[in-house]
């Protein structure tokens, strides 16, 4: 059934432990369920199986992956040996010069460092720890090294009005690639939705400012801006289609078509401790559940965009409706679109955002 599908990218979540408490973290809410983590030998086997399946890129993430520094170095080395491009997704607070040396020596191709906001006071408040200065130092040190670097910032109601300052920070420290992504309706961000989602005016203002900056910095800095689909007419093509290009291996070994998919409690997700990765990719019920267009209900089934956005996000559909097999309610054509407009109207009407609940183990 799934022979035409080949995974191009693996997200390897080494741990969900993290010293920060971002209220928009996409990690699952029941973090304690993931305390048992795959060991380095199993991760090496997973990388070998991924390479055999045709995976070209590995993104090491978490939680905070550098809380397992030895595993990071060993796995970057294995990825390089197997010809896969490697990316470390980190918040940077443990990225010492020594670890950086070892990672680059092992063949690391790219580092993505996140900041919570451009200025320390708000950034530290969102992170739940005084770490902003350490992150800036890490960004500055990595920018001088022979490795590709991206500065990432998740935008939400509390920091989106400072988006120009995020770009100015990147210019100051010498970063040539910036990724700005609006908080989405899953993980901790879903729990914090009334506190985090920006108003339509904020989103539109930020979009204009980012476009202006991208024009000004053309040729010097690449800026990727992922817009919030709750204010767009159509949803985003989540993961470029369920089980079509991406797979995620969680710290405990379970394999997901999307990093937020653990929230879908109606599916059983297999583990690399029990099944080969190739079997999970090609044969498992979870990967085949929403592959392609055959599963689609109306209005997606007869929609001309069904192979453009693939019916939107399955996790968002599940969290909002209780059924991952429905059209994403973020789509204006969904009969349940009011579930999204009710949230955005509540946000616009509220004089103050709701209180933030920090991510906690
Ligand atoms: S989003 Fe924040 S809390 Fe979640 S893993 Fe990243 S740095 Fe840690
Ligand atoms: S109806 Fe389905 S396929 Fe069409 S735009 Fe909406 S989500 Fe996409």
State pLDDT tens for residues 325-348: 999 999 999 999 999 999 999 888
What is the model's pLDDT at position 105?
Answer: 98
Q: Is the minimum distance from the CB of 328 to ligand 2 under 6 angstroms?
A: yes
pLDDT band at 349 (very low <50, low <70, confident <90, very high): confident
Average pLDDT, the chain: 95
Q: Which of the ligands is closest to the CA of residue 229?
A: 2
Kindly give the pairing relationship between strand 222-226 and strand 177-182: parallel
Tell me the ligand closest to 123's alpha carbon.
Answer: 1
Question: Is the beta carbon of 293 within 6 A of some atom in ligand 2?
Answer: no
pLDDT band (50, 70, 90) for residue 354: confident
Q: Are 153 and 114 in contact (CB under 8 A)?
A: yes
Average pLDDT over residues 311-322: 95
Six token digits for residue 163: 């988006």
Residue nearest (by alpha carbon) to ligand 2 atom 7: 311
* pLDDT class of 351 with cuts at 50, 70, 90: confident
Q: Whose CA is nearest to atom 2 of ligand 1?
A: 22
Cβ of 229 closer than 6 Å to ligand 2, yes or no, is: no
The residue among 320 and 185 whose pLDDT is bigger is: 320
Environment class of 339 (CB within 10 Å of its CB; exposed 0-12, middle 13-18, buried 19+)? middle
- pLDDT tens, residue by residue, 279-296: 999 999 999 999 999 999
Ligand 2 near 172 CB (within 6 A) = no
- The pLDDT score that the predictor gives to residue 285 is 97
Cα 88 from Cα 224, distance rounded (Å): 18
pLDDT above 60 for 269? yes
Tell me what pLDDT residue 13 has: 98
pLDDT 10s digits, 16-45: 999 999 999 999 998 988 989 999 999 999
Residue carrying structure tokens 């937020």: 260
**Which residue puts its alpha carbon closest to atom 3 of ligand 2?**
306
Give the distance (Å) from ligand 1 centre to CA of residue 352.
25
Q: What is the mean pLDDT of residues 52-61?
A: 98
Mean pLDDT of 237-259: 96
Q: In the prediction, which pLDDT does 355 show?
A: 84
> Is residue 361 scored above 80 in pLDDT?
no
Ligand 2 center–CA 319 separation, angstroms: 18
Mean pLDDT check: name the lowest of 168-172, 237-241, 325-329. Answer: 237-241
Q: How far is the CA of 43 from the centre of ligand 1 (A)?
A: 21
The C-alpha atoms of residue 228 and residue 155 are separated, in whole angstroms, by: 9
Alpha carbons 41 and 48: distance in angstroms, whole number:
11
Mean pLDDT of 150-161: 96
Atom of ligand 2 nearest to the CA of 332: 6
pLDDT for position 117: 98
Binding site membership of 353 for ligand 2 (Cβ less than 6 Å) = no
| pLDDT score, position 2 | 47
What is the predicted pLDDT for the residue at 87?
98
Considering only 73-77, 140-144, 309-313, 345-349, which range has the smallest mean pLDDT? 345-349
**Protein residue whose Cα sits closest to atom 2 of ligand 2:** 300
What is the helix (H) or strand (E) element at residue 85, kind and residue range? strand 85-90
Residue 207 has which token pair?
A: 């979009």
Pairing assessment for the beta strands 222-226 and 9-13 based on DSSP bridges = unpaired
Give the mutation target among 18, 114, 134 for probing the ligand 1 site: most ligand atoms within 8 A of CB. Answer: 18
Specify the residue with its C-alpha closest to ligand 1, atom 4: 25
Cα separation, 98 vs 198, in Å, equals: 39
**Mutation test of ligand 1: which of 14, 152, 156, 359 has the most ligand atoms closer than 8 Å to its C-beta?**
359
Token pair listed for 335? 């009969």
User: How far away, in angstroms, is 257 Cα from ligand 1 center?
Assistant: 20
Query: 329 φ, ψ to 5°?
Result: -60, -15
pLDDT band at 3 (very low <50, low <70, confident <90, very high): low
Classify residue 65 by its DSSP letter.
Answer: G
CA of 67, nearest ligand number: 1
Q: What is the mean pLDDT of residues 90-97?
A: 97
């Amino acid at each position: 059934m799934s022979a035409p599908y080949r995974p191009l990218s693996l997200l390897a979540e080494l741990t969900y432990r993290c010293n920060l408490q971002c209220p928009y973290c996409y990690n699952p809410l029941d973090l304690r369920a993931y305390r048992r983590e795959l060991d380095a030998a199993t991760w090496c086997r997973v990388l070998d199986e991924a390479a055999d399946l045709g995976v070209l890129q590995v993104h090491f993430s978490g939680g905070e992956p550098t809380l397992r520094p030895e595993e990071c170095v060993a796995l970057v080395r294995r990825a390089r040996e197997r010809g896969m491009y490697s990316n470390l997704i980190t918040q940077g607070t443990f990225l010492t010069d020594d670890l950086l040396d070892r990672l680059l020596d092992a063949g690391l191709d790219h580092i993505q460092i996140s900041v919570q906001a451009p200025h320390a006071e708000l950034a530290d408040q969102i992170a739940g720890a005084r770490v902003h200065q350490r992150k800036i130092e890490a960004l500055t040190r990595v920018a001088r090294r022979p490795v590709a670097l991206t500065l990432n910032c998740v935008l939400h109601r509390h920091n989106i009005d400072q988006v120009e300052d995020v770009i100015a920070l990147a210019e100051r420290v010498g970063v040539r690639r910036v990724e700005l992504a609006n908080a989405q309706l899953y993980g901790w961000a879903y729990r914090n939705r009334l506190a985090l989602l920006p108003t339509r005016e904020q989103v539109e203002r930020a979009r204009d400012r980012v476009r202006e900056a991208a024009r000004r910095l053309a040729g010097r800095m690449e800026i990727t801006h992922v817009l919030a689909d709750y204010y767009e007419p159509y949803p985003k093509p989540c993961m470029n289609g369920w089980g079509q290009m991406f797979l995620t291996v969680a710290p405990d070994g379970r394999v997901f078509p999307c990093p937020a998919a653990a929230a879908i409690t109606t599916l059983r997700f297999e583990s690399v401790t029990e099944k080969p990765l190739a079997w999970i990719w090609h044969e498992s019920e979870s990967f085949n559940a929403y592959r392609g267009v055959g599963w689609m209900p109306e209005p997606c089934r007869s929609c001309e965009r069904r192979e453009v956005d693939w019916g939107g996000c399955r996790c968002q559909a599940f969290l909002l409706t209780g059924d991952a097999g429905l059209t994403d309610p973020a789509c204006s054509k969904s009969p349940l679109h009011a579930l999204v407009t009710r949230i955005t109207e509540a946000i616009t009407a509220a004089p103050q955002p709701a209180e933030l609940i920090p991510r906690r183990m």
